[in-house]
């Protein structure tokens, strides 16, 4: 993958802001530990989600770079102080003559799919871990499962709308997996 200095700056800025916002909401140890836990779980989830879009876009020879939305990053931190959060840190911007419904759908599916895979990878820590490791596993599992489901909303500029325009079958598979992960957690462990 190729990165510009502006993209690296925007990715780091969004990762830090997201980590701070979610650390404000987290219950548990001191703030620095909460920032580290949020950075590892939410921040890493954000980064992998966005880089998955970028990787597939570049596979199709598209120009693709993440651009942060600074207003939304500040808003996320301020909202966290009110006890809730809505994060729209930015997006991978695409350009290229080869972006049709199929490719756009695959590029869009890469983000939520990576979030769901990451949730599954955090699950063993949630089930078998203890103390801080279980906190990381639980938070990593829950936030990435929700991130995957949230991005599958089939409206506006969410990934779900682009995936649904490309393949109803693949969209349905992702939604079912996301729903099982989000709402079926009580059945595991």
Classify residue 136 as left (phi > 0), alpha (psi -120 to 50) or beta: alpha
CB proximity list for 67: less than 8 A, separation 6 or greater: 6, 7, 10, 90, 91, 92, 93
Helix, strand, coil share (%) of the chain residues, nearest 5: 70, 5, 20
| 3-state DSSP assignment of residue 90 | strand
Catalytic residue set: 50
CB atoms within 10 A of CB 187: 7
Q: What is d(CA 53, CA 48) in angstroms, rounded to the nearest whole number?
A: 9
Q: How far is CA 89 from CA 18, 73, 105, in A?
A: 8, 6, 21
């Amino acid at each position: 993958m190729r990165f510009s200095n502006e993209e690296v700056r925007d990715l780091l800025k969004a990762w830090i802001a997201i980590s701070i916002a979610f650390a404000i909401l987290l219950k548990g140890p001191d703030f620095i530990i909460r920032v580290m836990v949020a950075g590892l779980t939410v921040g890493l989830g954000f980064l992998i989600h966005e880089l998955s879009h970028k990787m597939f876009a570049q596979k199709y020879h598209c120009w693709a770079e993440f651009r942060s939305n600074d207003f939304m990053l500040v808003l996320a931190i301020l909202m966290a102080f009110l006890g809730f959060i809505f994060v729209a840190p930015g997006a991978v911007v695409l350009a290229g003559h080869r972006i049709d419904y199929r490719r756009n759908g695959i590029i869009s599916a890469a983000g939520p799919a990576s979030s769901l895979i990451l949730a599954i990878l955090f699950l063993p820590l949630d089930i078998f871990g203890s103390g801080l490791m279980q906190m990381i596993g639980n938070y990593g599992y829950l936030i990435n499962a929700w991130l995957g489901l949230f991005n599958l909303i089939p409206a506006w500029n969410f990934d779900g709308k682009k995936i649904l325009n490309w393949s109803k079958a693949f969209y349905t598979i992702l939604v079912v997996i996301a729903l099982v992960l989000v709402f079926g957690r009580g059945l595991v462990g």
